Amino acid sequence: MRQDAFILREPDRLRSCAVFSSPHSGRHYPESFTARSRLSPLQLRLSEDAYVDRLYATAPELGAPLLAAVMPRAWLDLNRGPTEMDPALVQGVRSAGLNPRVAAGLGVVPRVVAEGMPIYSGKITAADAQARVSGFHTPYHDTLAGLAEAARRRFGIAVLFDCHSMPSDALRSFAGVRSRRPEIVLGDRYGASAAPWVADATQEAFEAAGFQVARNTPFAGGYITQRHGRPQRGVHAIQIEIDRGLYLDELAIAPGEGFPDMLMRMQGVVAALARIGQAEARVAAE
């Protein structure tokens, strides 16, 4: 397995059943990619969940692993299935039926970034697309599955937190909770990827830090929660979306004025998330 496919930060000793994953924070843009793209480097970053990995950076200190992408979402989307290939982008690919994400250009190898801006002037080869999947998508998900299984074997359960950010514009038309727009959206695929008590505890962790939280609307979870969330087998998966406006200069795609405060608030949240499941977990005999 190639070790440059992801960044894995593990604790000195596994003390939590939580596993943190940041699949869209990758920010290594190969020159071969930027040279081929019709977009500027800044435009390519519009799909990036910029610095989300830094928001959860304290997880290893709390006994939980943190897995983060290396390559950017505009190059490969780890939250799409490996077969979600776009026939409008990848040579030789046939339509496999109605898939709204692929039709919108948001397959496993994206055709567009935010606001529907095309990344390429033409198509890419099937060999190129498959190399991205086999070289980066497969190792990432195999590692994530291994981390979840290690936690489950040790504690009896595993809680996977799939960490993302959302553009502030995505919530402008959202009525929100109690007339307030949500700052955090949690997705458990309407209960399919995590038990209710896990989703409730996750919401309480963010609300205790003063965040306004919504569930499953407008984001209920993607491929990661669908693939890895198996609550009946003791593996729970929750997608977390954070409003970028809280910490990011969205025009410059750089840490904003609120970034230091957000880091401090998230330290408490991550600590609370790392404790979820302690009462239910059974520590395996050493």
Asked whether the predicted pLDDT for residue 286 surpasses 50, the reply is no
In a domain, 280, yes or no: no
Supply the pTM of this predicted model. 0.94
pLDDT of 33 reads: 96
Looking at residue 285, its pLDDT comes to 34
Residue 281 domain-assigned (yes or no): no
What is the average per-residue pLDDT within 118-145?
97
Query: What is the DSSP secondary-structure string of the chain?
Result: --GGGEEEE--SS---SEEEEETT------HHHHHH-SS-HHHHGGG--TTHHHHTTTGGGGT--EEEESS-TTT--TTS-TT---TTTBTTPPP-S--HHHHTT-SSS-SEEGGGEES-SS-B-HHHHHHHIIIIIHHHHHHHHHHHHHHHHHHS-EEEEEEEEE-GGGGTT---BTTB--SEEEE-TTTTSS-HHHHHHHHHHHHHTT--EEESSS----HHHHHH-BGGGTEEEEEEEEEGGGTEETTTTEE-TTHHHHHHHHHHHHHHHHHTTTTT--PPP-
Does 43 fall in a domain? yes
In a domain, 44, yes or no: yes
pLDDT tens per residue, range 147-187? 999 999 999 999 999 999 999 887 776 654 455 789 999 99
Domain count, the chain: 1
Judge whether 285 lies within some domain: no
**Does a structural domain hold residue 286?**
no
Mean pLDDT rounded to a whole number for the chain: 93
Residue 282 lies in a domain: no
| Mean pLDDT, residues 16-43 | 96
Model confidence at 79, pLDDT cuts 50, 70, 90, reads very high
Decide if 180 is inside a domain: yes
Q: Per-residue pLDDT tens for 209-257?
A: 999 999 999 999 999 999 999 999 999 999 999 999 999 999 999 999 9
The domain in which residue 94 lies consists of 3-275
CATH number at residue 56: 3.40.630.40
pLDDT mean over 63-86: 97
